[in-house]
Structures are given as structure tokens and as C-alpha cells.
Amino acid sequence: MIRIGIDVGGTGIQIGVVNHEYTIIHESSIPTRINIPFEEQVKHITDAVVSTAEAAGYSIDDIESVGVGIPGIASAKTGEVIKCTNMGWRHVPFREVFNQYLDKPVFIDNDANVAALAESVAGVSAGSSSSVFITIGTGIGSGIIINNRIWSGAHHIGGELGHVIFDLDGVSCTCGNHGCLERYCSATALIRMAREAIADCPESMILQLVHQDPAKIEAKTVFDAAYAGDPIALSVYHHYIDCLAQAIANVVNFLDPEMIVLGGGVSKAGHFLLDPLVTEFRKYVLFNDQPLPQISLAVLGSEAGIIGAAMLS
């Protein structure tokens, strides 16, 4: 028996065949199409599920379940997608329509929750019963695991760590509020801090690395320049680490999970990101004379979406 994991993204939908050792044994993708009716979108997905299973040498009968991770909000209970802007979905009966085309148990959840589940079962937080997965990219998302289950909230709107107020009346956010955590802790924030810093110091290595074009600065640019010892980049890096350490401490002070897992593009900076955080977050934890959550880098990378979706039950 196999499980199918589906990762719905903005440009493509990844479909993976996952075995009982949580390994993707075959994978395919179809483009995200939004200008067709919802029923047709689902039909494309179910067709791809069948063809992907068959390409891996399995029949429909071998499919134990299908799980779907979506960038949006969904009810794991009713199988309804409440909101998924990328697909143009609002209050669509996903499970119901899916089952009209393919009669298999189908489960659906938010993509950050799904990645959190994947890491907590087959990744770095395996063996823990509670964890918070923080994905640090353009924005900040998070997935919460409590007692080995996804906690997405009573109304499926939890895990939005990126939009927790972190700096009263602070930097304005795309959501319309001010001082949201992701304005200080995302890749976007790091890039903003770097641009602000080089405005006063045009000699920074950050600018050299992007051939004097600030529009080309990426998170990696800042980390590379800081790693090389550029003083401007180092000062931005230290400030960013300090913000992220406070964000991690916030999760500890409020929820105290067994582990905190860092994923997303920024986590590719590896130990240059992780090591100072592991030291720095402690000073912002109230009971920091106690055993504290372990902070780790995610290990499943982009596979977490498919593996975690396949694990949904």
C-alpha cells in the first residue's frame, strides 16, 4: 500500500507516491490552473494522482489515502477548503468533489501544518510529541504539533506567527497592520535591513556581491557578506539574529513545545543562522534556568510538503 501526498503551490501542484518509510518513491507535477471551474481543477488533480501511482507501478487499489497541503485555510474535519487564494478557492467542498472522481480517504490541511507534521514524524523533530515548525521565507509561517497532532486552531486560522504583533506601531505590513513579526524576521525583512544599512555605507561588500544593484540583494547575499566578515553585513546579521531570537523566545514563553524547527529559504544559511540563535533566544525566555526547547534546522526541505500531506489522517 502507498499514500499519495499533494503539495499545492502557486505555480505547480506536486504529486508524490509515499511509502510506509515516509520516502517519496515517485513524483510528478501539474501546472496550477485557475481559469477553469473548481470541479475541473479537482479532476486534473485526481487524474494526476492515478497516473502518478501507475507510473510508480501501483494501481488505484494500492492507494491507502490521499493528503493535500494547501497554502491557505482548510477544515481537516469537513474537508472544505475555506480560503486558498493561489487556486482561487473560497469555501469549496474539496473532499466531496475529490471523492466524486476518486473514492479514497482524502485529507487536507494548511501547507505549513503539513510540513510541521512531516518533520515531526520523518524529519528532525521525529520522536517529539510537540513542536513548532517556523518557515522563514518571503514571509513567516508556522505549523503547530501538540500531542502528535496538528493544531491548526478552533477555526483553522492559527499558526500565523508572521502576523503576531512584535513591534507596536512598527513597520507597516502587507496585511494592513503595523509591527507584524514577519516584518522583522523574514527574508524580506533581512533584505530591507540590508538596503537600509548600505544606504549609509555604499562601500559594503553586500553591494559588491550584487554588482551595486540593491534590487538584487537576497537573504543569501547578506549571509555571505557577513560570513566573509563585512562589518555592515555583520551588523545587519546580528540585528536580524536578535529579532529572530526574540521571535523564537516568544514561541517558547507562550507555547513551550518540545522542539522548534526552522525551515524555509532563510534556513538554508544553516549553522551560521542556527548557532547564534540557540545561544541568543535563551536570554528572552522567562524561565531560562529550566530545560528549554531544542532549536533545529528542518531536514526534509521541499519534500516536507508531499511527505507531510501523505501522513495526514
Where along the sequence are the contacts to a second copy (CB under 8 A)? 73, 82-83, 128-130, 142, 144, 146-147, 151-161, 163-168, 170, 175-177, 179, 184, 243, 246-247, 249-250, 252-258, 283-287, 290-293
The least CB distance from residue 241 to a second copy, in Å, is: 14
Is the CB of 69 or the CB of 293 nearer to a second copy? 293
Tell me the three state secondary structure of residue 91: strand
Written as nine digits, the cell of 89 is 478557492
The distance of Cα 265 from the centroid of its chain, to the nearest Å, equals 9
Quote the least distance from Cβ 313 to a second copy, whole Å.
16
Beta partners for 26? 17
Minimum Å distance from CB 145 to a second copy?
11
Q: Which is nearer to a second copy, 255 or 299 (CB)?
A: 255
> Which residues, other chains included, contact 250 with Cβ-Cβ below 8 Å and sequence gap of 6+?
164, 166, 181, 284
Coil, helix or strand for 110?
Answer: strand
**Choice between 137 and 214, CB closer to a second copy:** 137
**At 290, phi and psi to the nearest 5?**
-105, 165
Q: For residue 45, which of 82, 88, 105, 97 has the smallest C-alpha distance?
A: 97
Which C-beta is closer to a second copy: that of 107 or that of 166?
A: 166
Across 115-164, the runs of DSSP E, i.e. the strands, are 131-136, 140-146, 149-150
The strand pairing partners of 108, in sequence order, are 68
Indicate the pairing of strand 63-70 with strand 106-110: parallel
3-state DSSP assignment of residue 125: coil
56 vs 134, beta carbon nearer a second copy: 134
CB of 47 to a second copy, least distance (A): 31
Complex with a second copy: residue 129 or 235, whichever CB lies closer = 129
Q: Least distance (Å) from a second copy to the CB of residue 78?
A: 13
Computed over its alpha carbons, how large is the radius of gyration of the chain? 21
User: How many other C-beta atoms lie within 10 A of the C-beta of residue 75?
Assistant: 17
d(CA 233, CA 99): 53
Which of 35/290 has CB closer to a second copy? 290
**CB of 280: closest distance to a second copy in angstroms?**
12
Within its chain, how far is the Cα of 294 from the centroid? 18
Three-state secondary structure call for residue 158: coil
Q: Looking at beta carbons only, is 100 or 148 nearer to a second copy?
A: 148
CB of 75 to a second copy, least distance (A): 11
CB of 255 to a second copy, least distance (A): 5
